C-alpha cells in the first residue's frame, strides 16, 4: 500500500564557539584548519525543531523552512541526504503493514519541515541548529544506527559549526587528519550539568543579514591572510588545551580571558583579509569597551564577550547575579526607548538536549 506515512521530530539548539572555527582545508567535505570549542545553548532559545516524514506517496524530496518551501538542490543538503541514505537501516511495523528494506531508502522520498524559535532574519547563527536537527531527525526516521560522533561527520557536511550542536554542554570539534574527514568529528568535553550556573546573553545589535557569508569569508581569509596561518598552527592548539582545562576546572576568569582573546583574534584575521571583512560595527565595539572596562574595574574577567560572523554580541556571565548586573549596565548605555541600535536581548543558560 502507498497509504502509510512515518514521521520523526527533533529539536536542536544553536551553539556559540568560544574558540572559533575559521578556515577550511577542504571546502567540499567541510574540513577545518583548526580545532574549535563551543557551548551549546538551552533549546528554549535559538533552536530548530524539525519534523521529517517518509511515505511511498511522496514524489520527491521537499523541504519547508518556517513554512516556506526551500530548495534542497544545494550540495550541502544533497551530501547530508546521501550520507544518511547510505547508513539507513531496515524498519518493520507489522501492525501498520510497513516494511522498509535498507535499499528502499534510495527510492523513498522525504519531506522535511523545520522551524526556528527565533526570527530567521535576525542574523543569528541558524545553520548550526538547522543542520544538526535535520541530520538527527532524519537519522531517527531512517533508523540509522550510528552514535552522535558519527552523525556529527554528516552534520558537518551541512554546516561546519552544526557538528557541534549534536551534543549539549561543552563540545570540541577535532579537525582530524584523514582526507575522507572520518576523524573530523565533534566530541563532548562536559555535559550540560557540568557548569550550569553560566548564563548567556545574546545582544541583538542588528537583525540585518550579514554581508559576507562565512563560506566566502573563510575562503578569502585562507587565500589572503598571513595571520590565519599563525593562528591555526600556533595560537589555537595552545588555546584549545587551556580552554579544556578552564572548562574542566570551571575556572571562569581563564575561560573569559581565552573567549574574548579568541573572538578578537578571529576578527583580526578578518581585518587581515584582503579586501578586509568587517563583521562588527560601532555598537559591537562599544559593547567590547563596556565589558573590558567592567572587567578592569572588577580586577578579574567577570564576563566574556564573543562575536561570530556578524555584529551581534554573545556575552557569557558566571551566574545569574552577574548577568543581571551586566544587563542593567547594557540597558543604561542602550536604553530601548532612546535608540534601537541594540534591539533585544535573549537570555539563556546552557542546558539542552533532544
Ligand atoms: O559553520 P559556519 O559556516 O556557520 O561557520 C561558523 C563560523 C563561526 O561562527 C564564525 C565560528 C564558529 O566556530 O562557529
The residues, ordered by sequence, that sit 6+ positions from 336 with a Cβ below 8 Å of its Cβ are: 342
Predicted local confidence at residue 120, as pLDDT: 58
State pLDDT tens for residues 79-96: 999 999 999 999 999 988
Q: SS3 of 139, please?
A: helix
Least confident span in 60-69, 117-126, 298-307, 326-335: 117-126
The alpha carbon of 134 and the centre of ligand 1 are apart by a number of angstroms equal to 18
The residues, ordered by sequence, that sit 6+ positions from 215 with a Cβ below 8 Å of its Cβ are: 27
How far lies 189's CA from each of 60, 131, 167, in Å?
A: 39, 21, 10
Cα–Cα dist 279/308, whole Å: 8
Where residue 85 falls (left for φ over 0; alpha for ψ -120 to 50; beta otherwise) is alpha
At residue 353 the predicted structure's pLDDT band, cuts being 50, 70 and 90, is very low
How far lies 51's CA from each of 65, 138, 315, 320, in Å?
A: 11, 9, 31, 34
Ligand 1 atom nearest residue 266's Cα: 10
The alpha carbon of 291 and the centre of ligand 1 are apart by a number of angstroms equal to 23
What the block records as the C-alpha cell of 82 is 546521501
- Whether 270 has a pLDDT exceeding 50, the answer reads yes
CA-nearest residue for atom 6, ligand 1, is 161
Cα–Cα dist 50/45, whole Å: 15
Which position has the higher pLDDT, 326 or 340? Answer: 326
Ligand 1 atom nearest residue 309's Cα: 10
Question: Predicted ipTM?
Answer: 0.99
Cα–Cα dist 170/178, whole Å: 24
Ligand 1, CB within 6 Å, residue ranges: 17, 20-22, 36, 125, 127, 159-161, 214-215, 308-309
State pLDDT tens for residues 4-60: 999 999 999 999 999 999 999 999 999 999 999 999 998 888 899 999 999 999 999
- With 0-12 CB in 10 A as exposed, 13-18 as middle and 19+ as buried, what is 276? exposed
The alpha carbon of 174 and the centre of ligand 1 are apart by a number of angstroms equal to 14
What the block records as the C-alpha cell of 263 is 573572538
The alpha carbon of 266 and the centre of ligand 1 are apart by a number of angstroms equal to 11
Q: Name the residue with cell 565589558.
A: 291
- Whether 198 has a pLDDT exceeding 70, the answer reads yes
* Domains of the chain: residue spans and CATH: 6-190 (3.30.230.10), 199-349 (3.30.70.890)
How high is the mean pLDDT of the chain? 91
Predicted local confidence at residue 96, as pLDDT: 86
Cα 97 → chain centroid: 39
Amino acid at each position: 500500500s502507498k497509504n502509510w506515512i512515518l514521521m520523526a521530530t527533533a529539536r536542536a539548539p544553536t551553539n556559540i564557539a568560544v574558540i572559533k572555527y575559521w578556515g577550511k582545508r577542504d571546502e567540499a567535505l567541510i574540513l577545518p584548519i583548526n580545532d574549535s570549542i563551543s557551548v551549546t545553548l538551552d533549546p528554549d532559545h535559538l533552536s530548530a525543531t524539525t519534523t521529517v516524514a517518509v511515505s511511498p506517496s511522496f514524489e520527491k524530496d521537499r523541504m519547508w523552512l518556517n513554512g516556506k518551501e526551500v530548495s534542497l538542490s544545494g550540495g550541502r543538503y544533497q551530501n547530508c541526504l546521501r550520507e544518511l541514505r547510505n547508513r539507513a537501516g531496515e524498519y518493520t511495523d507489522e501492525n501498520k503493514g510497513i516494511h522498509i528494506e535498507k535499499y528502499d531508502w534510495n527510492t523513498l522520498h522525504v519531506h522535511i519541515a523545520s522551524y526556528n524559535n527565533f526570527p530567521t532574519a535576525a542574523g543569528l547563527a541558524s545553520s548550526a541548529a538547522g543542520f544538526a536537527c535535520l541530520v538527527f531527525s532524519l537519522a531517527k526516521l531512517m533508523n540509522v544506527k550510528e552514535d552522535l560522533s558519527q552523525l556529527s561527520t554528516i552534520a558537518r557536511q551541512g554546516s561546519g559549526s552544526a557538528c557541534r550542536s549534536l551534543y549539549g554542554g561543552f563540545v570540541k570539534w577535532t579537525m582530524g587528519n584523514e582526507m575522507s574527514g572520518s576523524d573530523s568529528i565533534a566530541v563532548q568535553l562536559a555535559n550540560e550539568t557540568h557548569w550550569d550556573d553560566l548564563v548567556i546573553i545574546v545582544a541583538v545589535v542588528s537583525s540585518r543579514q550579514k554581508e559576507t557569508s562565512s563560506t566566502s569569508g573563510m575562503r578569502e581569509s585562507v587565500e589572503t591572510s598571513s595571520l590565519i596561518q599563525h593562528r591555526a598552527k600556533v595560537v589555537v592548539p595552545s588555546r584549545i588545551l587551556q580552554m579544556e582545562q578552564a572548562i574542566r576546572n570551571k575556572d571562569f576568569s581563564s575561560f573569559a580571558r581565552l573567549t574574548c582573546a579568541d573572538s578578537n583574534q578571529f576578527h583580526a584575521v578578518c581585518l587581515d583579509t584582503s579586501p578586509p571583512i568587517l563583521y562588527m560595527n560601532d555598537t559591537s565595539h562599544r559593547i567590547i569597551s563596556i565589558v573590558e572596562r567592567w572587567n578592569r574595574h572588577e580586577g578579574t574577567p567577570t564576563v566574556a564577550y564573543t562575536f561570530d560572523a556578524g555584529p551581534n554580541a554573545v556575552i557569557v556571565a558566571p551566574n545569574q547575579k552577574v548577568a543581571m548586573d551586566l544587563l542593567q549596565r547594557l540597558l543604561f548605555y542602550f536604553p530601548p526607548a532612546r535608540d534601537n541600535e541594540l534591539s533585544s536581548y535573549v537570555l539563556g543558560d546552557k542546558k539542552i538536549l533532544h
